């Protein structure tokens, strides 16, 4: 693998903590936008410290209620595909709890800001954890190209990878959180755009990314342009790109532009440069290591990508080279873009190996070890992989000339117009075929795999150096891709690309859990019950019948479960209404954000909700009666409430809203 940042697979994340890299990040807006994108994949909800306090009470984050809080959060994680934990802007108890719960931590920064590590990030790094950390850099929609990504990553060696996300204008809106929640409530009635960068991040977090692998094959690789154009018209997103040789150049150009028109123009200009005979003649040299010096070839690629770094591409990208020094395959995910693309295209005999500026190793065309690196893409976590093969097809109909072969006989056969032609590979072709032996074995495994969509456009008639036929070869690839994807769309196969492959298994498990009546969390209990081994409570009339029983003391148990009893009793007076899955905002709405909402910088527009003088009131819509949580002895039978608490069924949670049953 290349040095530095290495992109890793994230197939099964369930909890994601999101923290700001600086105070001017509009974190609430970002989380709402990510939640909106995730709803296309499965049920998702988000939590902030205020939402939790409004659900479980002002003391929900106190140490005495820690077990109760984690039990409740565990239930939410069981019933949602993903839970987003929005951290505070400082290292509060809630922030620590978010980090403790998270499988992955997103560090969100503004791309135009300074790359220095903030105080909150430094404090997070000092906490021991196994959660994967990802850097997310936000850009405006009209942004040109990412820049300075290397500085961000060098300052954060703990980040596994990074993501450049172009966000709609609403993410940068400075309206209050209440207004933003209202906006996203309406927005959630529509389907998110699966071609957006935020949807790409959502697929990365859920392990449903779409990867595109572009193989090597010289001028036949112009068909890659047509395949990508067909995929865009079919609205198939490309979340990661990998390539070898000409596939590396085409993939890098797409990841830089992410626009069909500009991408086509850039690749066409490069192809026309490759047709210049004058430049080839001037680049000829004495063939000690290669026929050409590589100067003209380098100039063409460097003009195409300038000083761009792989880290500055919009879409994650890798290319493959052959390391002559260590005799192994190299996968490059960072560093100078033009250098590693050039190394991946260095055909032995024509161009000299390129010296890696990092370690001095000699790098050659990646096609010698892996001409279609779909297996590498799979290791990076892509669920759906499109592999486009444009390699040459070797002639297997060779002449059986016996046990010996005379070169004079071959020469006579070739020069004699009346002789029967013979097909025997020359020394150069034999060396070439030997170099690709391991590559061909890997290619066959890709063709026969069930985890990859193998695509082979009809481009066999075009030569390896036929770059002048750019438009013709591109159209061949486009027509082939459009025909194939149109059939997929009619058969409903495209929509299946964005469904998790483990979704059926998860549904089967949920059904099994329901049939056996064994939910993962049956009782909403307190740590004191576990420590004291409290027995099942009986009805209020029989609790004190047996004074000799040493199981528990009534007053002590009621004191321990006082807060639970009030919650259940209040809910009994006014049962909470269930909200369908995928609204994504049920908890926010229940939190009453219209009146007391956080603004973008963690401050509040309204009064402090933790005022002990104010009683929390629950209204019953049926009889207009009110239940006040100020005194447990007024209007609340604690024995009955405790008994109902023990009969609480966690399986009644739907869509993030607990439906309490009588």
- pLDDT, tens digit (0-9, with 9 covering 90-100), for 480-534: 999 999 998 888 888 777 765 555 445 544 544 444 343 444 344 444 444 444 4
Phi, psi angles (nearest 5°) of residue 397: -90, 75
**Rounded CA separation 520/122 (Å):** 36
Do 238 and 299 form a contact (C-beta atoms < 8 A)?
no
pLDDT for residue 164: 98
pLDDT for residue 7: 57
pLDDT at 469 over 50: yes
15-206 folds as Rossmann fold (3.40.50)
What average pLDDT does range 596-600 have in this prediction?
43
- Which of the four pLDDT bands, split at 50, 70 and 90, describes residue 572? very low
Six token digits for residue 200: 């790409």
What is the total residue count of the chain? 662
Task: Convert the pLDDT of each residue in 344-399 to its tens digit.
Answer: 999 998 999 999 999 999 999 999 999 999 999 999 999 999 999 998 877 777 88
More confident residue, 564 or 522: 564
pLDDT for residue 385: 96
Strand partners, 396: none
Q: How far is CA 407 from its chain centroid?
A: 58
Do 201 and 167 form a contact (C-beta atoms < 8 A)?
no
pLDDT at 592 over 80: no
Where does 141-270 show beta strands of DSSP type E?
161-167, 210-214, 240-244
Phi, psi angles (nearest 5°) of residue 587: -70, -35
SS3 category, 523: coil
**How far, CA to CA in Å, does 20 sit from each of 109, 135, 254, 405, 662?**
6, 10, 30, 72, 42
pLDDT for residue 602: 43
Q: Which CATH superfamily groups domain 210-396+424-496?
A: Cytosolic phospholipase A2 catalytic domain (3.40.1090.10)
Do 586 and 656 form a contact (C-beta atoms < 8 A)?
yes
pLDDT for residue 398: 82
pLDDT for residue 475: 97
pLDDT at 92 over 90: yes
Instruction: Give me the sign of the Cα torsion angle 433, 436, 440, 446.
Output: negative
More confident residue, 588 or 442: 442
**Rounded CA separation 18/438 (Å):** 44
Helix (H) or strand (E) holding 331: strand 328-332
**How far, CA to CA in Å, does 461 sit from each of 60, 152, 391, 500?**
70, 47, 12, 39
Task: Convert the pLDDT of each residue in 29-39 to its tens digit.
Answer: 999 999 999 99
DSSP-derived letter for residue 85 is E
pLDDT for residue 501: 56
pLDDT at 10 over 80: no
Do 521 and 75 form a contact (C-beta atoms < 8 A)?
yes
pLDDT for residue 302: 96
Do 149 and 317 form a contact (C-beta atoms < 8 A)?
no
**Rounded CA separation 570/634 (Å):** 12
What average pLDDT does range 183-208 have in this prediction?
95
pLDDT for residue 601: 40
**Rounded CA separation 140/166 (Å):** 5
- Which of the four pLDDT bands, split at 50, 70 and 90, describes residue 580? very low
pLDDT at 574 over 50: no
More confident residue, 6 or 519: 6
pLDDT at 297 over 50: yes
Kindly give, in sequence order, each residue whose CB lies less than 8 Å from that of residue 96, ignoring residues fewer than 6 positions away. Answer: 127
Q: How far is CA 471 from its chain centroid?
A: 34
Do 197 and 168 form a contact (C-beta atoms < 8 A)?
no
Kindly give, in sequence order, each residue whose CB lies less than 8 Å from that of residue 517, ignoring residues fewer than 6 positions away. Answer: 651
Among 302, 8, 313, residue whose Cα is nearest residue 150: 313
SS3 category, 163: strand
More confident residue, 395 or 616: 395
Helix (H) or strand (E) holding 494: helix 493-496
The residue behind tokens 């850099």 is: 137
pLDDT at 594 over 70: no
pLDDT at 554 over 60: no
How many other β-carbons are positioned within 10 Å of the β-carbon of residue 293? 16
pLDDT at 547 over 80: no
Kindly give, in sequence order, each residue whose CB lies less than 8 Å from that of residue 614, ignoring residues fewer than 6 positions away. Answer: none
pLDDT for residue 12: 73
SS3 category, 598: strand
Please state, rounded to an integer, the average pLDDT across all residues of the chain.
80
Strand partners, 137: 109, 164
Among 240, 249, 290, residue whose Cα is nearest residue 269: 249
More confident residue, 414 or 598: 414
Phi, psi angles (nearest 5°) of residue 232: -65, -40
Q: Which sequence spans correspond to the domains of the chain?
A: 15-206, 210-396+424-496
pLDDT at 558 over 80: no
pLDDT at 551 over 50: no
**Rounded CA separation 421/554 (Å):** 102
What average pLDDT does range 189-206 have in this prediction?
96
Annotated catalytic residues are 245, 365
pLDDT for residue 250: 98
Task: Convert the pLDDT of each residue in 626-652 to its tens digit.
Answer: 333 334 334 444 444 444 444 444 444
pLDDT for residue 110: 97
**Rounded CA separation 383/236 (Å):** 13
What angle, rounded to 10 degrees, do the helices at 66-79 and 49-56 form? 110
> What would the 3-class secondary structure string for 380-397 be?
CCCCEEEEECCCCCCCCC
């Amino acid at each position: 693998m290349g040095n530095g940042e290495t992109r890793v697979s994230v197939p099964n994340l369930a909890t994601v903590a999101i923290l700001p890299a600086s105070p001017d990040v509009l974190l609430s807006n970002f989380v709402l936008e990510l939640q909106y994108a995730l709803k296309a994949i499965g049920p998702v909800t988000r939590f902030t410290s205020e939402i939790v306090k409004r659900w479980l009470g002002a003391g929900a984050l106190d140490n005495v209620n820690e077990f109760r809080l984690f039990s409740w959060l565990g239930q939410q994680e069981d019933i949602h595909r993903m839970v987003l934990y929005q951290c505070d802007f400082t290292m509060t108890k809630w922030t620590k709890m978010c980090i403790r719960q998270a499988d992955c931590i997103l560090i969100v920064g503004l791309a135009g800001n300074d790359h220095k590590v903030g105080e909150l990030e430094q404090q997070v790094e000092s906490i021991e954890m196994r959660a994967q950390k990802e850097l997310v850099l936000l850009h405006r929609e009209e942004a040109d190209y990412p820049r300075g990504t290397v500085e961000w990553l060098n300052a954060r060696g703990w980040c596994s990878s990074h993501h450049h996300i172009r966000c709609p204008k609403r993410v940068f809106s400075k309206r209050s959180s209440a207004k933003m929640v209202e906006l996203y409530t309406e927005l959630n009635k529509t389907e998110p755009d699966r071609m957006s960068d935020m949807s790409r991040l959502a697929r990365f977090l859920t392990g449903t990314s779409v990867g595109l692998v572009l193989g090597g094959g010289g001028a036949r690789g112009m068909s890659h342009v047509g395949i990508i154009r067909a995929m865009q018209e079919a609205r198939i997103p490309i979340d990661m790109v990998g390539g070898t040789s000409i596939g590396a150049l085409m993939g890098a150009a797409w990841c830089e532009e992410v626009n069909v028109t500009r991408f086509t123009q850039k690749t066409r200009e490069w192809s026309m440069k490759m047709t210049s005979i004058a430049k080839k003649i001037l680049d000829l040299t004495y063939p000690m290591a290669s026929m050409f010096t590589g100067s003209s070839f380098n100039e063409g690629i460097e003009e195409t990508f300038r000083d761009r770094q792989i880290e500055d591409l919009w879409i994650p990208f890798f290319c493959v080279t052959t390391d002559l020094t260590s005799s192994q395959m190299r996968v490059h995910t960072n560093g100078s873009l033009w250098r590693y693309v050039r190394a991946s295209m260095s055909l032995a005999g024509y161009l000299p190996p390129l010296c890696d500026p990092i370690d001095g190793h000699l790098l050659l065309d990646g096609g010698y070890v892996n001409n279609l690196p779909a297996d590498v893409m799979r290791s990076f976590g892509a669920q759906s992989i499109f592999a486009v093969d444009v390699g040459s097809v070797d002639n297997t109909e060779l002449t059986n000339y016996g046990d010996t072969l005379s070169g004079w006989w071959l020469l006579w056969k070739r020069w004699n117009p009346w002789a029967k032609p013979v097909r025997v590979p020359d020394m150069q072709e034999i060396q070439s075929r030997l170099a690709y032996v391991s590559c061909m074995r890997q290619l066959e495994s890709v063709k026969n795999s069930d985890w990859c969509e193998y695509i082979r456009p009809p481009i066999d008639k075009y030569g390896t150096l036929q770059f002048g036929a750019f438009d013709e070869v591109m159209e061949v690839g486009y027509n082939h891709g459009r025909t194939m994807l149109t059939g997929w769309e009619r058969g409903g196969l495209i929509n299946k690309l964005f469904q998790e492959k483990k979704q059926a298994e998860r549904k089967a498990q949920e059904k099994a859990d329901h049939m056996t009546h064994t939910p993962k969390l049956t009782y909403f209990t307190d740590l004191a019950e576990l420590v004291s081994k409290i027995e099942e409570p009986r009805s209020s009339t029989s609790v004190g019948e047996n004074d000799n029983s040493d199981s528990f003391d009534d007053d002590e148990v009621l004191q321990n479960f006082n807060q639970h009893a009030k919650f259940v009793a209040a809910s009994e007076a006014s049962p909470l209404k269930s909200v369908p899955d995928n609204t994504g905002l049920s908890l926010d709405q229940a939190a009453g954000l219209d009146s007391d909402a956080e603004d973008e910088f963690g401050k509040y527009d309204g009064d402090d909700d933790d005022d002990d003088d104010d009683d929390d009131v629950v209204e019953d819509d049926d009889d207009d009666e009110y239940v006040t949580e100020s005194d447990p002895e007024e209007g609340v039978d604690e024995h009955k409430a405790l008994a109902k608490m023990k009969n609480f069924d966690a399986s009644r949670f739907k869509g993030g809203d607990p439906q309490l049953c009588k």
